[in-house]
Structures are given as structure tokens and as C-alpha cells.
């Protein structure tokens, strides 16, 4: 079976010949640039700086030679602009705090603050206030909150719609070209088109915008889901309307070159509990996700991808009811998210895209043997009757020991070789 056939079998809950593997196809299934660099060295690949294709989390581009070595089965299609609002083009060198030299976009424009933090600017425009901060000695950026004082009597939902415009002709050309490139690799294709997340807390501060308006403070946004529900409904109604119109144009451009689409990265859980009650999810989110997923399932063969960290087991029936096909990152370390229970209760209705190994403790701090054992065990649990694409629980973080990463990929090959 080809990579694409293996992934499609998994997505259709038909046991594939082996467990398919994804690293690097989305902004939540990737690796920190430092880990990509150490893996290239470990496997003796050509020495060259790694490109930072997602600067917000400083994710490294996994190029074709490393994809081949790691046995990856999924190719990503990304938006034409990054989380900081600029395209990845005209690469230039940039040095991390630890001395690692990487490549970044020419519009990756930074300054160093008085305290040593690195500040990055939306659209690479230093005339605008910086929108991201990498703490001194850090490895990725945090959003800088730039919310203007709120006038409660004159809140305008339009102000929170600035990132949800109609897809442009140039964007459609970009997605068509990238979908064709991705499909030509023989791997399965997942596309991140944007505009369908509804309340993704990474997007709320508007790191890609020079002068964001509306509710942009993270705490204020979460409070608003309780206290300003009429306002949130108006935003989501309009966002959904725009999203459906965009999806029609996007499908006309890329057709069935795409196998799955990243719909939503909105987080609903923490380590030990939900951060959104089932009642609020049912009232505030479910109707709009049903419209978006319903359109996709009625007009395309795409599978729909839902990312949510945390202890979200109480919402999984709602995710299924909303039409999501895929759950990521499958945080098995969170309360109620034990792998065996998830597979037995939801395995016939959800594809688990992630959950392969813990990135909080085992992968960064365990031994290679512990990594091997967890990878083999998770593959055994999740892979039965399909419905599993291997990935770690969210992105592989900076300074993860390369010996542990090598143990992960060796364990995958071991498991697949036994099948």
C-alpha cells in the first residue's frame, strides 16, 4: 500500500497494512526546529540549516530526505502566510539563543528588548507594535496582548472578524499549487485553510495583525463565552457564513487532492478538567461546527480534523455529533483520557491522530527504553481496526533528546515490521 492508501484506510477504519505516521503536516503535529536539526545530524543527512516554517512555535520544516528516513505518510498544505502574517520566502539565517543557526523568512523581523527578550513584528513591519515575544533563553514565541480599552456599550462583532475575510484569488492559486505539490509526493494530504476554528485562543490575540480590535485579551475572551454570549454568537454566525463561502471556492480549487482538512484548533480542556462546560459547547459551538463539517461531508470526501488539548473526554460525543472525524492530539496524560478507554468507547467513530507518546514527561525526560515501551503499547491499543495515525501528543518540544526521538522511530518500525 502507498502512504496515501495506508492513511485513507486508517481514516476509514479499515485496518491498514501498517500504522501510518505523521510529523510536520500541521501546526500541531510538528517538531521544534532544534529537534529537526538534531535528527538530521543523527541520521547523517546533508548538513544545512533547518527552515522555520511556523515561527510562532518555531517548528522546523521536515524536508524530503528526512521524511524518507522517518517513514512519514502525510504531507501538509499550509496557508500562504504564517501566524505572524508574513509569507515564508527569501530565506535568511537567524540564530537561536542557544547558538543554533536556522533559516527564517525575510519578513521574520525581530528586535531585542531591554530585558533580552526577542520581539517579533506582524507582517514584518517594525512601525507596528510587536505581536510576539520569545523570552530570553526561550525557544518559541508567546503572543503579546494588545487589546485596546473595551467600550462595553459599543462592542462591534466585526472587530473580531478581521482574520476571517473572503479567500482571495491569490490564496486560491496558492492552495491549488500546494495541494498539487503535496499530492505528487504519494503521501496523504491534510490542508490547513484557516477561517473555521471559532475561538482558537492562539488566534484571538491576532499575532498576525498590526492593530487588532475587539476582544483580544485571552482572559477577557474566555469570560465573554459566559458573559457576552450574544456577542460571541454574532461573531460565529458571520464567521461560519464566510467559512462556508470560502470552502466552496477552496474545494473548487483543490478538489479531492486533499484527504483531510484542519477545521478547528480551539482548545476545550486543561490537564485535569474541561475549560468549557458541555452546556456552553452545545450552545455556543456545536451549531456552527455542525454547519461547517456538514458542508464538507456533503460536498467533499475530506475528513475533518479537530485539535483540542486536555481532558476533553466529556465532549467527545459532542465532537462526534458536530461531525468531526479526527481527534488530535489525544492527550492520554489528561484526566479521563486513558488510551484504552478512548479506543473502546470512541475508536469506531473517531480517528485518533496522536496519542502515540507523551511529550510532557516520557519523550523529553524518559529513557529510550521507556519511549520504546510507550510507543509500542500505544500502537497496540490504538491501531486495532484502523482509526489511528501515529503522532506524538502535540508538537515535539525543544531539546528533546535525540536518542529518545530515534527510539520512537525505531519502535514504530519494529511495530510495523511485526504486522
Can you say whether residue 199 is alpha, beta or left, with left for phi > 0 and alpha for psi between -120 and 50 degrees? Answer: left
The predicted pLDDT at position 324 comes to: 98
Q: How far is CA 112 from CA 22, 32, 119, 120, 128, in A?
A: 35, 21, 6, 9, 15
Write the pLDDT tens digit of every residue in 348-377.
999 999 999 999 999 999 999 999 999 999
Task: List beta partners, residue 388.
Answer: 352
The predicted pLDDT at position 183 comes to: 98
Give the phi and the psi of residue 40 in degrees, each rounded to 5.
Answer: -60, -45
> Which residues, 6 or more positions from 236, have their beta carbon under 8 angstroms from its beta carbon?
198, 199, 284, 285, 288
> Which residues, 6 or more positions from 4, have their beta carbon under 8 angstroms from its beta carbon?
73, 186, 187, 188, 189, 259
Give the phi and the psi of residue 10 in degrees, each rounded to 5.
Answer: -60, -45
Gap between the Cα atoms of 245 and 192, Å rounded? 16
Q: Domain spans of the chain?
A: 3-85+146-417
Give kind and range of the element (H or E) at residue 119: strand 118-120
The predicted pLDDT at position 322 comes to: 98
Average pLDDT, the chain: 97
Give the CA-trace dihedral at 403, 408, 411, 417, to 10 degrees.
-120
* pLDDT band with cut points at 50, 70 and 90 for residue 182: very high
* pLDDT band with cut points at 50, 70 and 90 for residue 161: confident
Q: How far is CA 114 from CA 120, 185, 343, in A?
A: 14, 46, 50
- Per-residue pLDDT, averaged over 45-54, amounts to 97
- Judged on CB neighbours under 10 Å (0-12, 13-18, 19+), 59 is buried
Q: How far is CA 189 from CA 245, 332, 402, in A?
A: 22, 26, 27
Residue 400 pLDDT exceeds 60: yes
* pLDDT band with cut points at 50, 70 and 90 for residue 162: low
* pLDDT band with cut points at 50, 70 and 90 for residue 382: very high
Write the pLDDT tens digit of every residue in 280-310.
999 999 999 999 999 999 999 999 999 999 9
- Per-residue pLDDT, averaged over 250-256, amounts to 98
- Per-residue pLDDT, averaged over 25-41, amounts to 98
What is the chain's alpha carbon radius of gyration, rounded to the nearest angstrom? 21
* pLDDT band with cut points at 50, 70 and 90 for residue 418: low
Lowest mean pLDDT among 90-99, 115-124, 156-165, 258-267: 156-165
Instruction: Count other C-beta atoms under 10 Å from residue 43's C-beta.
Output: 15
Gap between the Cα atoms of 138 and 120, Å rounded? 14
> Which residues, 6 or more positions from 119, have their beta carbon under 8 angstroms from its beta carbon?
110, 111, 112, 113, 130, 132, 133, 144
- How remote is the C-alpha of 235 from its chain's centroid? 22
Write the pLDDT tens digit of every residue in 190-237.
999 999 999 999 999 999 999 999 999 999 999 999 999 999 999 999
The predicted pLDDT at position 224 comes to: 96
The predicted pLDDT at position 419 comes to: 53
Three-state helix/strand/coil letters over 178-190 = HHHHHHHCCCEEE
Q: Which class is domain 3-85+146-417?
A: alpha beta
Task: List beta partners, residue 328.
Answer: 307
The answer to whether the beta carbons of residues 50 and 98 sit under 8 Å apart is no
The predicted pLDDT at position 11 comes to: 98
pTM above 0.95, yes or no: yes
The answer to whether the beta carbons of residues 324 and 262 sit under 8 Å apart is no
The predicted pLDDT at position 165 comes to: 81
Q: Is the peptide bond before 43 cis (omega within 30 degrees of 0)?
A: no
**Residue owning grid cell 502574517:** 85
Gap between the Cα atoms of 193 and 70, Å rounded? 26
Amino acid at each position: 500500500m502507498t502512504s496515501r492508501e495506508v492513511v485513507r484506510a486508517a481514516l476509514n477504519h479499515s485496518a491498514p497494512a501498517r500504522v501510518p505516521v505523521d510529523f510536520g503536516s500541521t501546526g500541531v503535529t510538528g517538531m521544534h526546529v532544534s529537534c529537526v536539526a538534531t535528527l538530521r545530524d543523527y541520521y547523517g543527512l546533508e548538513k544545512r540549516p533547518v527552515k522555520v516554517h511556523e515561527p510562532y512555535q518555531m517548528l522546523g520544516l521536515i524536508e524530503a530526505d528526512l521524511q524518507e528516513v522517518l517513514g512519514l505518510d502525510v504531507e501538509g498544505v499550509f496557508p500562504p502566510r504564517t501566524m505572524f502574517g508574513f509569507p515564508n520566502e527569501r530565506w535568511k539565517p537567524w540564530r537561536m539563543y542557544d547558538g543554533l543557526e536556522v533559516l527564517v523568512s525575510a519578513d521574520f523581523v525581530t528586535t531585542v528588548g531591554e530585558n533580552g527578550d526577542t520581539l517579533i513584528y506582524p507582517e514584518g513591519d517594525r512601525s507596528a507594535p510587536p505581536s510576539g515575544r520569545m523570552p530570553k533563553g526561550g525557544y518559541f514565541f508567546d503572543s503579546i496582548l494588545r487589546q485596546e480599552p473595551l467600550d462595553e456599550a459599543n462592542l462591534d462583532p466585526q472587530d473580531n472578524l478581521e482574520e476571517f475575510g473572503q479567500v482571495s484569488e491569490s490564496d486560491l492559486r496558492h492552495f491549488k499549487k500546494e495541494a498539487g505539490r503535496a499530492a505528487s509526493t504519494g503521501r496523504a494530504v491534510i490542508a490547513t485553510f484557516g477561517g473555521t476554528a471559532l475561538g482558537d485562543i492562539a488566534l484571538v490575540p491576532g499575532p498576525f495583525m498590526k492593530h487588532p480590535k475587539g476582544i483580544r485579551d485571552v482572559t477577557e475572551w474566555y469570560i465573554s463565552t459566559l458573559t457576552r454570549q450574544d456577542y460571541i454568537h454574532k461573531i460565529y454566525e458571520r464567521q461560519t457564513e464566510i467559512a462556508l463561502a470560502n470552502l466552496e471556492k477552496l474545494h473548487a480549487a483543490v478538489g479531492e487532492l486533499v484527504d483531510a482538512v484542519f477545521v478547528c484548533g480551539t482548545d476545550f480542556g486543561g490537564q485535569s478538567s474541561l475549560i468549557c462546560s458541555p452546556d456552553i459547547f452545545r450552545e455556543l459551538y456545536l451549531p456552527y461546527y455542525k454547519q461547517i463539517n456538514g458542508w464538507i461531508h456533503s460536498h467533499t470526501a475530506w475528513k475533518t480534523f479537530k485539535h483540542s488539548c486536555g481532558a476533553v473526554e466529556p465532549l467527545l460525543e459532542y465532537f462526534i455529533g458536530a461531525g468531526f472525524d479526527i481527534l488530535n492530539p489525544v492527550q492520554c496524560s489528561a484526566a479521563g483520557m486513558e488510551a484504552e478507554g478512548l479506543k473502546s468507547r470512541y475508536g469506531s467513530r473517531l480517528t485518533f491522530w496522536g496519542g502515540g507518546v507523551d511529550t510532557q514527561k516520557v519523550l523529553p525526560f524518559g529513557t529510550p527504553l521507556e519511549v520504546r515501551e510507550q510507543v509500542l503499547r500505544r500502537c497496540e491499543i490504538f491501531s486495532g481496526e484502523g482509526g489511528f495515525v501515529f503522532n506524538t501528543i502535540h508538537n515535539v518540544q525543544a531539546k528533546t533528546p535525540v536518542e529518545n526521538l530515534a527510539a520512537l522511530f525505531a519502535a514504530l518500525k519494529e511495530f510495523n515490521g511485526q504486522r
